[in-house]
Every structure is written in structure tokens, then in C-alpha cells.
Structure 1
């Protein structure tokens, strides 16, 4: 079986979230457990860090992977969704899984997949775990797909659990209140396994405390140990000063992840390295070097990614209310004469929640992705007008971006934001 044949089979045979939305989500761990049992339980053969959260879990996972591979460990990284190639989801030391490995897995286990009828995501998780075990990784960073408690990745027994933050997203699946969403995310907390909470809210902290206590799991609040502030941008890097709460010592870091919101993720990352120092020792110099090269070392894309200067074009995968709020807060530090926004979103989210976070003083270029989940740009334009957001609809993101470029001068800024699927279809990425 060839790689493209394998990918076509996975997309055509299995429910895929990015195509049909919540209907593709199969709650429960039974299918993943059955797949992994047939594979010899590969998830029991490597050590891991489990990362959940509404926003920031992708950046956090990539920072951790960059740090540990820079320290000389063989590091697996599982994330989702991918932007350009399916192989982006499964990496070892920054290198995507070879296409022939994907084809070989599907060819070998097609009968098993047909018998169990799992979701696309469940097969992807099993494939990743099998690959990490076969390649004998020292440590795997596993990003939760959706939620936590019922997410396919939750069959692992990690060395550490980390929850970045809680916000409103996928409320049709996870619940419509922050405490309900926190309950689902906190489902990754395991018996006696330490858990780090990156950001806490009055509605979510009691949930974490209760669930950690029930599991006898030590709960660490990142803000009790480290506080980070952004000092500015220099040579394409984000300058961040971190103060250790206990010693009072300050550390300076330069991140190649440009968004100011990365300062919210960094304390949890640093605390994770502290808690695992005995098992996976890393030095301060290694951490500093690794944070300067997260993008090049791990292949991360779409996080406040600057793809052109003069005019500046920034791409970000922010696609929910708290994510957009953090993105536009970070955008305030970017000098601009006129802001141009290429925007698209999925149809199964409340458009008002997202559109209410967008600035009125911008020119809009509404677009849609090829995914059946995408909201039609003409409908998006109509919804946006109710919020005073005026612009023109386009049937694809590249046409929208081309038009934005025609209307800008060197002091303007263009952003593309609102959906992973919109960003994934950019030709320039």
C-alpha cells in the first residue's frame, strides 16, 4: 500500500473530526484500548508527559519536546491536528513519521481497523504509540486531542500531567460551563502522578483540587513557582523574563514563538522540567537554547507565525474566544497603520462568540476552507456585519490573502486567523 492510498483509506473509512465535527468524536477509551492491545500495548513501553488545555497545549508540547531533545533525549511528540501533512502529527526529535511507516501501519492493520471501526483520531493515536514504542523513545510528549477524560490519548500512565488553561471551546461536547470543561480536562489526572495547572480561574481551581485529591496526585500551580513577563521583541525573538518565586532569581529567555501569550505557557514548561529533573535532567543553558529554536527544532507552525515583512503577514491558528482574545492582545505590540484580517471559521461554532473578539477598525476578507465544516464566507460576512465588521467574501483563503496584499502598504499588517483549516490551506505556509 502506498502512502496516499493509506491516507485516502483513513479519510474515507473513518469518521474525521475536521470534516464532520463532533459526530466524529467517539467518547470512551475502548476502541483505543482494543487497538493498542492488538499492537502489544505500546503505550506501556515508553515514558510520557500528558498535556491538556483549551489553548496553549500545542505550544507547550513543542517547547517541552524542544527542551528534552536538546538535552540529548530521544523524544516523541504527538499533536493534532496537522496543518499540511498527516505526518506532522507524529514526530521523533522533530522529524515527522516517514510516509512508508504510515502506509505500512495501515496495510498491516487494515483488518483490525475494519473490525473495530474506530475514529480517525483513535487510529492515529494507536499508530503514534506503536511508532514511539518501536523507535524506543526516551520520552513522549502527548497532546490531548479534545477534552481529556474521554480522549483517546488518556490510556497512558505519564510521568507528569499538565493542564495549560480552561476556556470555552467545544462546549457541545465538554459542557457549557468552565467547571464542567475543567472536569473533562482534569480527567487526565492519574493516581499519584503529579499534575501542573498552568492558569487557574475561580471556577476551575476547586475542580482541580478535588480531582487531584481523589487521585492522591500532587497538584502544582505554575504561578506559585514562576512568573513571566514579556520585555519586548528583538531580532524575531520574544524576550521574556521569568522570576522564580521561591529564590527570587530572574532568568532571561528568548523564544522563537513570537506571540506574547507564550509567557502564559512558559511557567508551566519550566516547572515541568523541575519536577522531572531527576528522571530527565536538563540544564539552564540547554533550556535557554531550546526555547530559541522551538520552531526549527520541532516543526511547529501557525503560532503567531510571521511569514512576510513589509507588509507584515502573521498567521495564527487561534479559533476560540480565549485564543482570539490572547492573540489580539499580543497583536497590540505590533506597529501597524492599517490592520487587514483574513478570517474564516467552522460552522458548528457560535459565530457571535468569535466575532465579538474581532476589532471593528480593520478591513476584513472573509473566507472558507474546503472542509464541509467550514462556514460559508457569504454567511460569515452577514454574521460579521451585525458586529460592525465589514469586508468582502472569498471562496478560499489564498484568494482572500491575495486581495489583502493588493490593498496594503508597507506599514500595514495582514493577519490570517480563525480556524486551523483556513491556515492549513495557505499556499505560503
Structure 2
């Protein structure tokens, strides 16, 4: 098989959440532990940081990877889902896993796959761990796929865990209350292993306190050590004023990540770095500042308040649940520009509620990704009309963006999002 045939084989032979939703969900660790043992447990061959959370785990993981790479370490990064290419999921120092490695891994291990009948995500996880072990990374940043407790990534033994935040998403699998979802995220907390919580959430902090106490795991509440008092967008970068609360020392941090929500994520990142530094990792303030300046370049991170054009301003943002959409729309409305929104969503979200968070005054272009889980553009438009939103239906993602550009003036803004799958189909060249 060539690379494209291999990816097609993975998606068609093994259940993939991106294509099949809940039918592909395989909770539990027994199967992935069995597969890992067949590969001589590669997850034990490298140090790691485990990252969970409803929103912000991709940004936080990429910031950590960029900083540690700048500090001179060989850094693995495992995230999901990808936007354009499968290989985006698995990187070392920002370089994607070679296509040939993916092909060889699949072709050489069909017997193992037949024995364990893994999910797509289980195969991808072991592929990542095997690649990191083979390449002898100094440390890997590992993002959970969903939840934490029963996620396939939860077989690692990290140096420190990070939980970014908790909001309602994937409720059919993780529970329909914040407390239930927090309990699933808290499942990544390990015995005697520090855990950082990025954000203060009054309703659920007790979940993390109780879990960490039961496991003798030091709990670091990032918001008690750092605060971000300002965020200013400058060109295609942001400047944040960060204060270390115990020392009262302040520093201006410039980053190429522009979403206002990064002011929350960065607190957890800095606290994780403090844990590593206290354990002997050599991470200077210079490495932190330089790494944050080039997160996208160093890690390959995309799709979170990503500005791809200036006149009109075109912003790609992967916000697709309540918490993410509220923050993204707050920032969009603060621009005080005429707004055009190109949006597509998947069927298994609370679409009506998320649509209710969108600005009524915007012009809409309803589209749908070429994905079995995608909600039809027509149905999305109908749901939007019930919320007082008006616009046109253009199923093709690129044609929808083109229509928005044609209807825009140079000083307007076009926001594209609702699903990573929508962003993945854009042709921006």
C-alpha cells in the first residue's frame, strides 16, 4: 500500500471517531495495554507530559512543545484530530512523522491489529508512542483524545499532568454535568505525580482536590501562582502581561497565538514548566519567551484564532462547543467590524444551543464538511433561522468562504469555524 491507501485502510478497517462518532468510541485501557505490550511498551521509553481538558489542551500542548524545543530538548507532540494531514498528529520538534513510517507500521503489524481489533485512535496512539521511543525523544507532550480516565493515552506515566478546563462537550460519553466530566478528566492524575489545573472553576475544583489527595499527587492551581492582567493584539501576535503572584514579578510575553483564551492557557503552561524546572529540567526564561513567540512555527499548531488574511480579516477558529464559542464570539464582537461567518458543524453536538451564541447581526454562509458526521448545510441553516440568524447555504467549504470574501469590504472580518473538519477542507493558497 502507498500512504493514501494506508490512511484509507485505517479509516475503513478500524472505527474512527472522526468518521463514525460514538460507534468508534472504545473506552477502557485493557485493549491498548495489550497492543502496547505487543510493541514492547514504547510508552515506558520516554518521559512525558499528559494534557486533558475540554478546551485549550491543543494550545497548551503546543506552547509546551515550542518552549521545551527552544530550551534544547527533543520533543514529541501527539495531538488530535488533525486539520489537513494525518501526520500532523505526530510530530518531533515540529516535524511530522514521515509518511513511510505510517505505511510500514501498518503493513508490518496487521497480525497484531487482527488480534486486538483496535480503534483508529488506539492504533494512532501506539504509532505515536512507538515513533517517539524509536526516535529517543527527551520528552513527549501527549494530549488526550477524549476525557482522560479511559482514554487510550492514559497508559503513560507522566512527569506532570495538566488539566486546562472543563465544559460541556461529548456529554453522551463523559456525562452531562461538569462534575461528571471533571471526574473523567481527573482520571489522568497519577499516584505521587504533580498535576496542574489551569483555571479556577468553583463547581469542580473539589473533584481535582479530592482525586489528587487520594493519590498523594501534588495539586498546583496555576491561577494561584500566575495572573494575566492584559492582552493586546499586535499585528499577527499577542502581547500578554504576566505576573508571578508569589514574587510579584511581571513580564511581557509576546506570542503568535492570538485568541483571548490563551491568557488562561498560558497560566497552566507556566506552572507545568515550574514543576519541570523544580525537577531539574533546564528551562530558562529566555527559552520560555522565545518559544512562545513562535508556537505555530515550532509546533505546527493551526486553527485557533488563526489569522490568514488581513483585508478582509479572515480568522480560522476551531471553536465548536459552548465554552469555546462564547470566548471566540466575545473576541469577534470586540473587533467592531462587519462580521461574516462561514460555519459548518457535526450532527452530534448541541447545535441549537451553540448557534444561539452567535451574533444575530452577522451575515452567514452555511456549509458542511465532507464527513459522515457533518450536519447538512441546509439543516444547519434551518436551525439558525429559528435563532434569528440569516444567510445563504453553500455546502462546499471553499465556495462558502469565497462567497463571504466577495460580499466583504476590506475592513470587514470573516470568521470560519464550527468544526475542525471545516477548517481541514480549506484551500488557502
Identify the TM-score tier after normalising by the shorter chain: over 0.9
CA distance in 2, matches of 1:249, 1:116: 53
1:222 maps to 2:197: no
Instruction: Give yes or no for contact 1:174–1:181 (8 Å, CA) kept in 2.
Output: yes
Q: Distance in 1 between matches of 2:305 and 2:148?
A: 25
Partner of 1:189: 189
Corresponding residue for residue 298 of structure 2: 297
* 1:301-335 residue CA offsets vs partner (Å, 9 max, x unmatched): 10100111110100011110100111112224434
| Structure 1 SS opposite 2:146 | coil
Quote the residue 2:254 is aligned against: 254
Q: What are the superposed Cα offsets for residues 328-369 of structure 1, whole Å, 9 maximum, x if unpaired?
A: 122244341x10000110011121221111010100001111
SS in 2 for 1:303: coil
Task: Specify the alignment match of 2:312 in structure 1.
Answer: 311
Q: Does 2:284 align with 1:320?
A: no
SS in 2 for 1:276: helix
Measure the CA separation in 2 of the matches of 1:205 and 1:360.
Answer: 35
Whether 1:423 and 2:423 are equivalent positions in the alignment is yes
TM-score (norm: length of structure 2): 0.98
Q: Could you state the TM-score of these two structures normalised by the residue count of structure 1?
A: 0.98
Say whether the 8 Å CA contact 2:193–2:217 is kept in structure 1: yes
Encode CA deviations 1:354-409: one digit per residue, 9 max, x unaligned. 11110101000011111110000100111111111111111121111111111000
Mapped contact 1:232–1:238 kept (Cα < 8 A): yes
Partner of 1:362: 362
Structure 1 contact 90–128 (Cα < 8 Å) conserved: yes
Give the aligned partner of residue 179 of structure 1. Answer: 179
141-150 vs 111-120, which deviates more?
111-120
- Aligned residue for 1:405, secondary structure, equals helix
Mean CA deviation greater in 269-278 or 125-134: 269-278
Is 1:192–1:217's contact at 8 Å kept on the other side of the alignment?
A: yes
Tell me how far 1:134 sits from its aligned partner: 0.6
**Contact 2:231–2:263 (CA under 8 A) maintained in structure 1:** no
Question: What does 1:12-411 correspond to in 2, within 5 Å?
Answer: 12-277=12-277, 278-336=279-337, 338-411=338-411
Q: How far apart are the structure 2 equivalents of 1:229 and 1:79?
A: 29
Aligned Cα RMSD in Å?
1.0
Whole-angstrom distance in 2 between the partners of 1:236 and 1:416: 17
| DSSP-derived class of the 2:109 partner | helix
Check the 8 A contact 1:398/1:426 in 2, yes or no: yes
Which stretch has the larger CA shift, 8-17 or 273-282? 273-282
1:282 and 1:410 map into 2 onto residues whose CA distance is 43
Q: Deviations over 1:201-253 (max 9, x none)?
A: 12211111111111110111000000013331223210100011101110110
Aligned length: 428
Contact 1:228 1:263 in 2 (8 A): yes
**Rounded Cα–Cα distance in structure 2 between residues aligned with 1:260 and 1:229:** 12
Structure-2 separation of matches of 1:163 and 1:297: 22
Deviation of 1:97 after TM superposition, in Å, equals: 0.2
Shift of 1:290: 0.5
Deviation at 1:269, TM superposition (A): 0.5
Give me the whole-angstrom Cα distance separating, in 1, the residues matched to 2:235 and 2:365: 30
Quote how far apart the aligned CAs of 1:22 are: 1.5
Q: Could you list the per-position Cα deviations for residues 254-298 of structure 1 after superposition, in whole angstroms to 9, with x for gaps in the alignment?
A: 010011110010011011111100332111111101000000111
CA distance in 1, matches of 2:299, 2:315: 20
